[in-house]
């Protein structure tokens, strides 16, 4: 189960009886039935429906466009906060900075397959994330040692895919991700080290904007956990046909 927040986790006491599935999660019981490739039923908060996630078997692009900037280094043009009343994102010194926990921020443009370059500066104790299409979080964090396992550590696809290699932590310094997303297959390079190699993301991660995985989505930066995060030099390439 992946909720609107938090991480993927096992449900409690699942039972299958023909086309009926029951399980416990959160405050209560779920009861759903499968028919005509759809789920319908009741969740603790009310009625629920579901459809299969798309396979997203996209062919690898033969060529990519020239990278274009998503952040101009001067103002928030092309970006919008999800909660303007709690927005603490500013532009200073050519950097996109989140002064304190509050709003998340996303691009006004949406993307399908892409190559993203983004530089980040995460302070000690900081927690943020870069959401691909607004649905899959590449974790950015320097929380206390031992708080997060590998699937929730810096460079992971949050809750699903741990980084394959260890990169020395550098809190308060500039680092970079180069991320390629084609369909639901992702590559992540952190400061020149390949840490996720052609891995399939099984589904949305907690905090996703929606679950419509077959549609384009924005680049989305998490700002509701801690302040102190900085981003710069954000560029994107798309398939060139």
CATH match for 68-237 among 2.20.25.90, 1.10.10.410, 2.40.110.10, 2.60.120.560: 2.60.120.560
3-class DSSP state for residue 159? coil
> What's residue 171's pLDDT?
97
Instruction: State the maximum Cα–Cα separation within the chain, in Å, rounded to a whole number.
Output: 61
Q: For residue 27, is pLDDT > 90?
A: no
What pLDDT is attached to residue 84?
96
Beta carbons within 8 Å of 36's beta carbon, 6+ residues apart: none
Residue 60 DSSP one-character state: P
Q: Express as a percent the part of the chain with pLDDT over 70.
A: 100
Q: What is the pLDDT of residues 69-90, one digit of tens each?
A: 999 999 999 999 999 999 999 9
Per-residue pLDDT for 14 more than 90? yes
Q: Provide mean pLDDT across the span 152-168.
A: 95
Question: pLDDT tier at 3 (50, 70, 90 boundaries)?
Answer: confident
Asked whether the CA dihedral 125, 9, 43, 56 is positive or negative, the reply is positive
The Cα angle at residue 121 between residues 117 and 125, in degrees rounded to 5:
135
pTM: predicted TM-score of the whole model, two decimal places: 0.95
- pLDDT of 143 reads 95
- DSSP H helices in the chain: none
Q: What is the mean pLDDT of the chain?
A: 96
Condensed to tens digits (0 to 9), the pLDDT of residues 33-63 reads: 999 999 999 999 999 999 999 999 999 999 9
Domain with CATH 2.60.120.560 in the chain: 68-237
- pLDDT tens digits for range 115-157: 999 999 999 999 999 999 999 999 999 999 889 999 999 999 9
Reply yes or no on whether the pLDDT at 241 is more than 80. no
R_g of the chain, CA atoms, integer Å = 19
- The partner residues of 106 in beta bridges, in order of sequence, read 80, 220
Reported confidence tier of residue 166, pLDDT bands at 50, 70, 90: confident
Which residues have CB under 8 Å from 102's CB, separation 6+?
Answer: 83, 86, 87, 88, 223, 224, 227
């Amino acid at each position: 189960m992946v909720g609107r927040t938090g991480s993927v986790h096992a449900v409690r006491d699942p039972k299958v009886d023909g086309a009926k599935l029951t399980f416990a999660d959160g405050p209560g019981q779920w009861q759903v039935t499968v028919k005509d490739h759809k789920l319908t039923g009741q969740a603790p908060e009310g009625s629920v429906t579901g459809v299969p996630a798309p396979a997203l078997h996209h062919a690898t692009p033969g060529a990519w466009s020239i990278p274009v900037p998503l952040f101009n280094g001067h103002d928030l043009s092309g970006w919008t906060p999800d909660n303007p009343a709690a927005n603490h994102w500013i532009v200073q010194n050519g950097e996109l900075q989140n002064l304190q926990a509050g709003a998340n921020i996303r691009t006004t443009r949406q993307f399908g397959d892409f190559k993203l370059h983004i530089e980040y500066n995460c302070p000690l104790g900081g927690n943020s994330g870069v959401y691909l299409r607004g649905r899959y979080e590449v974790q950015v964090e320097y929380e206390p040692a031992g708080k997060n396992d590998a699937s929730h550590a810096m460079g992971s696809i949050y809750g699903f895919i741990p980084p394959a290699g260890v990169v020395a932590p550098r809190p308060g310094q500039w680092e970079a991700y180069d991320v390629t997303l084609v369909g639901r297959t992702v590559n992540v390079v952190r400061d020149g080290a390949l840490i996720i190699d052609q891995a399939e993301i099984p589904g949305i991660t907690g905090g996703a904007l929606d679950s419509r995985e077959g549609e384009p989505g924005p680049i989305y930066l998490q700002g509701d956990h801690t302040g102190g995060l900085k981003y710069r030099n954000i560029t994107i390439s798309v398939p060139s046909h």
